[in-house]
Amino acid sequence: MAGACCKCPVAVSVFKRSLSVAPRGCGPAVRPQLLGWRLGERSLQEAARPCSALRPAGFYRHTAFLCLSCQESMSESLRTCYLYLNQTSRSFAAVIQALDGELRHAVCIFYLVLRALDTVEDDMSIPLDKKVPMLNDFHTYLYQQDWCFTESREKDRQVLEDFPTISLEFRNLAQEYRDVISDICQRMGVGMAEFLEKKVGSMKEWDLYCHYVAGLVGVGLSQLFSASKLEDPEVGQDSELANSMGLFLQKTNIIRDYLEDTREGRAFWPQEAWSQFAERLEDLAQPERLESAISCLNLLVTDALRHVPDVIVYLSRLRNQSVFNFCAIPQVMAIATLSKCYNNPMVFQGVVKIRKGQAVTLMMNATNMRAVQTIISQYSQEILQKVSLTDLSRDKTLHILGVIQEKSAQSQSSLPSTTHHLSPMYLSAAMLLAALSWQYLSTTAAQAQGIGDMQGQ
């Protein structure tokens, strides 16, 4: 038994939507990416879809009202789960709640289960001889109605203390959703336990680590999409593409957060890469090693870019607008971030961020496949223009950029020739997305100031 088990009652008088974003400095040692498909906690198709498949005009103007109306029919335990969702997922809680039908509840519970699992992994106060069995067995707690853990010191410990409420709503889901969530929880728990005392060594191990903490989330979400009937069965069946969606986001986070992670004693850059340029990972931040550091950075960016062709294929298969928005926006934010990181010394000196206006534009535009293709092509060209003649990864970088451009052109030619612009029904959604992006980037700016203060001390 892990900790004292209890049923923690929570009175919910008002259900509020939070648009705040947690600073990355509070992040875990292992970062599952649920809603990194979230780029996740960090920031939010009609082109290839018939107009009749889209939501009616005015839908988004009433989204908030509909959400409040739905709450009235929810059980108290389900309302509590959405309260926890808003408290812990923050920036993308609103996007989860914009998903259609019963998929919304399934993804909400999926997130909370993985958040609870992640909280166990993050808690350094739990000894390994206790933590490893908890991670391996965590999926079994979903069917133990009274299991909870009251000894955590983590900021999100409420999802463990009141796990009986979350597990109750898990058991209320349809069987097809429960099977997916339980399976992913088991596989992720085993992976987390494996990497507790294991550093990321080879490039293959980097892929495996990212698979456990992000790729599996992509696989699970894809299976939920298909189980909901909002997407075709092939979306959930093609685990390779779903895995690439998660790996692209996770690798982008790891690359961008080099300085923050190394200062906090976390090492996620694969040793096979950085050992070519330094004796220790943290040495890459030394000014005299800047040239070598840039070479290592560009090597890893190139490796992350190899997932983009899979991202293009995956997104092109989606049919439901809410699912497309949920998946596409983090991906375009990721490639914009990679473009900003490529060949950029600031990765080793401070915080790399995209401009607020740039983020708002990305979030407003990434609502159809043609627009997403244009965005991917744009940032691929930006990276191409920055490839140095002397960069050690130059040939590989040029090759993958060529593949991305070719894949983008192929997908573009297969789309309908009609114009694809945001329709009036997206105006309210755009305002929401703009608010989310503002919160995300304001937090990043605060982080930059914090790091600057640290450097000055």
Instruction: Specify the DSSP class assigned to residue 202.
Output: S
Residue 266 known to be catalytic: yes
Q: How many CB atoms lie within 10 A of CB 279?
A: 8
Angle between helices 427-456 and 63-73 (to 10 degrees): 90
Active-site pick, 31, 90, 104, 256: 256
| Residue at 330: amino acid letter | P
Q: Is 71 buried (19+), middle (13-18) or exposed (0-12) by CB count in 10 A?
A: middle
- Look at residues 297, 287, 289 and name the one whose alpha carbon lies nearest to residue 254: 297
- Residues 185 and 138: beta-carbon distance below 8 Å: yes
Alpha carbon distance 371, 349 (integer Å): 33
Active-site pick, 326, 342, 426, 440: 326
- Residues 294 and 258: beta-carbon distance below 8 Å: no
Q: Is 448 buried (19+), middle (13-18) or exposed (0-12) by CB count in 10 A?
A: middle
Alpha carbon distance 55, 78 (integer Å): 26
Alpha carbon distance 255, 259 (integer Å): 9
Angle between helices 356-365 and 427-456 (to 10 degrees): 150
- Residues 255 and 300: beta-carbon distance below 8 Å: yes
> What does the block give as tokens for 161?
């203390």
* Angstrom distances, CA of residue 280 to CA of 210, 254, 393: 21, 17, 21
Active-site pick, 178, 266, 317, 370: 266
| Residue at 95: amino acid letter | V
Polymer length of the chain? 457
Active-site pick, 111, 209, 225, 277: 209
Terminal CA-CA length for the chain = 45
Residue 256 known to be catalytic: yes
* Angstrom distances, CA of residue 331 to CA of 36, 37, 325: 9, 8, 10
User: At residue 354, what are phi and psi to the nearest 5 degrees?
Assistant: -95, 155
Residue 209 known to be catalytic: yes
Residue 314 known to be catalytic: no
Q: Which active-site residues does the annotation give?
A: 209, 256, 266, 326
